Structure 1
Amino acid sequence: MRVLIKAGRSLARRVLARMGFVAPRRTPIAKFLGSEIKSEVTKPQYDNDSRVKRARKNAKHLDSLLDLRGKHVLEIGPHLGDLSVVLASEYGCDVVGIDPLTHPNWPEVQQHPRIRLIEGDIANPPPLENESFDLIISFVVWEHIRHPWSALQHCQRLLKPTGKKFLRANLYRSAIASHLYRQVKEPWPHLMFSPDEIRARFNRPDLGWAFWVNKLTYQQYLFYFRQLGFFITHEHFWQVHFDREYYDANEQTLGLYPEWDLKTDFFEVVLEFDPRQPKRPIPDPVYRLPKWRKYLARKWLRFQGA
């Protein structure tokens, strides 16, 4: 009976959230211990067929979470525009992409009437109309943004109050965050060695632009989301193989970091606003005292002052 009551309450809350009467409930971070984690990460391939296949797979995943069809979408970091093309051609989306790096194939991609690609930084974007996008999406881009707080602020500004933001990002403390996993077989080289030491130790004079990753932890992301009024309605984690033998041999350095951070490679979230008070900061209950404790605290201070 208790199970039925709990299931009924959960269903009722989801229905009320859809209707706008209650805020959507965030998946707790503790759930990573269960089915919210994948234990393997497939290294991406970059030939044309693999790119198209990956774009269609990502679009299908987005559609299951966001209901893509006919939406006005802002893609952060479209790169070669593979996903933008699929969204416009197969889902009827109007897509604006913003990326600090232009690519030779952009003129061809923009021949599609529903696609516009802009050279720029989402942390300091070119003029775009406030609250003009239904969806904002980004795949493994946010870790390379140098001002992620400003970028999230602009996403909040550009997103409609009923809009949704999809974010998948690499975390700095993961074993493959250096983006050197094709050439360097040791995990966590960016935590173990300085850039100069990596160049010398692994004979890698050019580390590549992707080596630079901001150092945000997932807890810092959560703090940013709360400040901007984003509730998490979908949460997912990926973990790569954790090399216990390597960790034990180098615990003097790696032991400075939480083990969960070292194991967790990517996170993925869908962010939404409270329909009753969109974009209003979300108080952290850790810092909120119950009313009776506030009352006693005031009485105690008055007593001490007397």
Structure 2
Amino acid sequence: MNLRAGVLKALRHLPEPRDEAAIRAAIAARDLVLGRKPAPFARPQKPAPSPMVRRPTGLPDVPSLPEDQQWLLPQGITGSGHKVRSLYETGDGGGRSYDIELLEQLNTEYRGKRLVPSPPSYSDTALAESARRRVGWVNAMVGLAGQRTLEIGCGNGFEVWSLAHNLGCDAHGVDVTHYRPWDQLQGEKVHFECADLAAQSPYQPGSFDRVLSFTVWEHVTHPYAMLKATYDLLKPGGLAWIRANLHAGPQASHRYRDIYFPWPHLLFTDQVVRDWDVANGRRPIGHAWVNRLSWLHYEFYADQLGFEVAHRAFTETRIDEEFYTRFEDVLGRYPRTDLQRDYFLLVLRKPL
């Protein structure tokens, strides 16, 4: 018999291969019969990482670090916490107090160069004209004529009325506050609801072709929940048009009618501004309540919910460099991009 034939004959007499569990059971049975103490099984080896797992690439081979006792330490050094000189000083603003006196000083200084030179009027006529311009703006971007629309944060309701009477929309408005003009404006195609969409929606899912909102989102306590409600209320392929203030922008205090310099809400506490209101004979209202979301939060939320971004834009105010340098101890804590972005405009599409 040659060697090859002998090997093949031997292989034919080998037992059938068994899996690991069967082998362990056989060994345990043998030890039990012979009265042996079962031997512990070795831990299974950790499986090799999947080839799909990302690993660092292109890094040099680094030799192992020496043991701790082999590291050299500086000896005889004193005064390690004392500065000799620094190119930049931040922190306490050189002992500056952000108080009523400073607020009044800045307001006097900026009276002739106001952040918003001509604030819009709040008269009924001016608000109605503003509503006409707003609705025309949105219509030019997303097409509103004949659509079933919802305005989130509709306020007095002038935009909702304009949607119905000028563009033939089945127009709905929702707000957490019931406004007096609603009773005069509502009609066959003009509808209002006092509700908080972030908590509970009075509308059926997939009810609207278009959702719009004008500078309201910054006042929403739970903006993610509100954006989710918007997604749910849109029909597939529907569009949401959202414009809102950003917290770090120079106008976010909403006090630009009587506080003339930028970023008062970042420099002064609500209490200081309330005290200033009282000192000037006004009702103490402080800063407007604005959530602290940046643009990146909104972008992340939209992506998480599955929206497609059809359009994005920003309204920016150039940074007053002299003012920024004076108050860099506070303003330097914010990204400069955020400090100059007053508003964002976002058009979101719900996928088909």
Give, in whole Å, the separation in 1 of the partners of 2:315 and 2:118. Answer: 11
Structure 1 residue 205 displacement after superposition: 5.0
What is the aligned partner in structure 2 of residue 65 from structure 1?
Answer: 141
Q: Which residue of 2 aligns with 1:186?
A: 261
1: CA distance between counterparts of 2:289 and 2:121?
21
2:297 corresponds in structure 1 to: 220
Alignment check: 8 A CA contact 1:41 1:240 kept: no
Corresponding residue for residue 74 of structure 1: 150
Shift of 1:217: 0.3
Task: Indicate the percent of aligned positions where both proteins have the same amino acid.
Answer: 36
Task: Read off the aligned partner of 1:167 and give its amino acid letter.
Answer: I
Q: Partner amino acid for 2:316?
A: Q
Q: State the one-letter code of the partner of 2:351.
A: D
Structure with bigger helix share is: 1
Please report how far the alpha carbon of residue 246 of structure 1 lies from its aligned counterpart in structure 2 after TM superposition. Answer: 1.1
Q: Distance in 2 between matches of 1:178 and 1:40?
A: 12
TM superposition shift of 1:232: 1.4
Check conservation: 2:160, 2:190, Cα contact below 8 A.
yes
Amino acid at match of 2:311: H
Q: In 1, Cα distance between the equivalents of 2:147 and 2:230?
A: 16
Amino acid at match of 2:224: W
For residue 106 of structure 1, what is the amino acid of its counterpart? W
- SS of alignment partner, residue 149 of structure 2: strand
What are the equivalent positions in structure 2 for 1:94-243 lying under 5 Å apart? Answer: 94-110=170-186, 112-201=187-276, 203=279, 205-207=283-285, 211-243=288-320
Cα deviations across residues 143-185 of structure 1 (Å, max 9, x unaligned)?
Answer: 0010101111111111111100000000000111011111112
Q: Count residues with an aligned counterpart.
A: 235
1:298 matched residue in structure 2 = none
**SS where residue 206 of structure 1 aligns?**
coil
Alpha-carbon contact 1:171-1:267 (below 8 Å) kept: yes
Which has the larger Rg?
2
TM-score (norm 1): 0.73
Whole-angstrom distance in 1 between the partners of 2:136 and 2:206: 25
Partner of 2:107: none
Partner of 2:328: 251
Contact 1:76 1:136 (C-alpha < 8 Å) held by counterparts: yes
Equivalent position amino acid for 1:87 in 2: L
- CA 1:64–1:132 in structure 2 vs 1: closer, same or farther (change >3 Å)? same
* Counterpart contact for 2:312–2:344, Cα < 8 Å: yes
| Distance 1:96-1:216 versus aligned 2 partners, 3 A rule | same
Q: Secondary structure of 1:211's partner?
A: coil
The 3 A distance-change label for structure 1 pair 140 and 251 is same
Give secondary structure in 2 for the equivalent of 1:143: helix
With over 3 angstroms needed to count, the CA separation of the structure-2 counterparts of 1:199 and 1:127, relative to structure 1, is: closer
Which position in structure 2 is the counterpart of 1:268? Answer: 345
Cα contact 2:275–2:284 (8 A) shared by 1: no
Gaps of 5+ in 1: 1-38, 276-306
Partners of 2:120 and 2:195 in 1: CA distance: 25
Distance 2:118 2:170 in 1: 30
Structure number with the bigger relative contact order (C-alpha 8 A, sep ≥ 6) is: 1
| CA–CA separation in structure 2 for the residues paired with 1:262 and 1:131 | 37
| Inter-partner Cα distance in structure 2 for 1:79 and 1:41 | 25
Q: Does 1:47 align with 2:123?
A: yes
Distance 1:60 1:96, change over 3 A: same
8 A Cα contact 2:116 2:256, kept in partner: no
Q: Distance in 2 between matches of 1:176 and 1:85?
A: 28
Partner AA of 2:216 in structure 1: V
Question: Quick check: 1:40–1:238 contact (8 Å CA) kept in 2?
Answer: no
Q: What is the CA-CA distance between 1:241 and the residue it aligns to?
A: 4.3
CA RMSD of aligned residues (A): 1.9
Q: Deviations over 1:202-231 (max 9, x none)?
A: 5465226x7100111000100000001112
- Find the aligned partners of 1:103 and 1:234 in 2 and give their Cα distance: 31
Structure 1 Cα separation of the partners of residues 266 and 333 of structure 2: 10
CA distance in 2, matches of 1:222, 1:42: 31
Secondary structure at the counterpart of residue 222 of structure 1: helix
Q: Does structure 2 conserve the Cα–Cα contact (< 8 Å) formed by 1:40 and 1:239? A: no
Contact kept in structure 2, 1:41 and 1:238, CA below 8 Å:
no
The alpha carbon displacement at 1:273 in A equals 2.8
Per the alignment, residue 11 of structure 2 pairs with none
Q: Give runs of aligned pairs for residues 6-21 of structure 1, distance below 5 A.
A: none
